[in-house]
Amino acid sequence: MTLESTGSIARVREVTDRARAAGRRVGFVPTMGYLHAGHASLVAAARAHDDLVVVSIFVNPLQFAPGEDLDAYPRDLERDLAVCAEEGADLVFAPPVEEMYPRPPSTTVTVSGVSEPLEGRSRPTHFAGVATVVAKLFAIVGPCRAYFGEKDWQQLRVVQTMAADLSLPVEVVGCPIVREPDGLALSSRNVYLSDEERAQAPVLHRALRHGAELVAGGETDPGRVEAAMAAVIGEAPLATLDYVAAVQADSLTADGPLHGEVRLLGAVRFGRARLIDNVGVTAPA
Ligand code: AMP
């Protein structure tokens, strides 16, 4: 099947309904476009499992606060369509803002708990914007498997929680982070980095890996792990630390000694670019 691109909600419903009626599995990859190898890996995961692969490309205004980079966010639909074709996607849904929000929505989705720490503290309206658009996209695409990157670990937990709480007919699948050879996680926002900033940007992954080594070595005190990670970030003169955290992977909190599945997460600003990343580790029993 050749790649079809549409901006119409009705058309996405028609294609996905028809596929399911014929017994075909639908895979869905939501994105904000400016696709890179991280996005491509999600499309490949869908392609490997599902029969009809749908990719959405929508820079969702609801998840940007005033003063954030909504207008500057990089866009290149033509190149994105080429990436989707290359990865074997069947349908790209790239709606104009008016198709998704003909008027400002009165109904929004907020997910308490997992939305609140870390990114939620730095960007208080962000996850309500994400949960609302993802709920809407799930309603448009219908029953499917939906693929999300672990790159945005907290977002993945927010979407999983929402899908479970609301009994949405969607299986949410987390996929591994794709990185540059020096460890920097691929991100559409990496284009904001100057050459000098780009050279220092891998410090975030280095700090998180250092934290993971401490946890793997038996350190259970989140404060000590966080201080050690912050010290690594401090070695990069162009980096401004937003947060680094050592928390339980599921709840994104740490109420006592770290145990079981642990996630180390961080956000660092380099000039115009705000980078986030995370690493998982199992604490020794
Ligand atoms: P975005 O376009 O940034 O909203 O991302 C769309 C999807 O791609 C989200 O599920 C992200 O977590 C995922 N993603 C972004 N960067 C990466 C990466 N480096 N590796 C794996 N998945 C990624």
Q: How far, in Å, CA of 166 to CA of 282, rounded?
A: 30
pLDDT in tens, 207-237: 999 999 999 999 999 999 999 999 999 999 9
Within 8 A by CB and 6+ apart from 15, the residues are 4, 52, 54, 90, 91
Q: What is the CATH class of 188-278? A: alpha beta
Provide the percentage of residues in the chain whose pLDDT is more than 90: 99
The whole-number pLDDT of residue 262 equals 99
- What is the Å distance from ligand 1's center to 95 Cα? 19
Instruction: List the strands of the sheet with 240-248, edge to edge.
Output: 240-248, 261-270, 273-282
Task: List, by residue number, the catalytic residues.
Answer: 39
Find the farthest-apart pair of alpha carbons in the chain and give their distance in angstroms, rounded: 57
The whole-number pLDDT of residue 188 equals 96
Fold match between domain 4-175 and domain 188-278: no
Is residue 83 lining ligand 1, measured as CB closer than 6 Å? no
Whole-model pTM? 0.98
Is residue 278 lining ligand 1, measured as CB closer than 6 Å? no
- What is the Å distance from ligand 1's center to 13 Cα? 24
The whole-number pLDDT of residue 72 equals 96
pLDDT in tens, 237-253: 999 999 999 999 999 99
Atom of ligand 1 nearest to the CA of 185: 19
Whether the per-residue pLDDT at 1 is higher than 90: the answer is: no
The whole-number pLDDT of residue 220 equals 98
**Res. 55 pLDDT band, cuts 50 70 90:** very high
Q: Where are the domains of the chain?
A: 4-175, 188-278
pLDDT in tens, 181-194: 999 999 999 999 99
Q: How far, in Å, CA of 65 to CA of 59, rounded?
A: 13
Is residue 178 lining ligand 1, measured as CB closer than 6 Å? yes
- The CATH homologous superfamily of the domain defined by 4-175: HUPs (3.40.50.620)
Is residue 186 lining ligand 1, measured as CB closer than 6 Å? yes
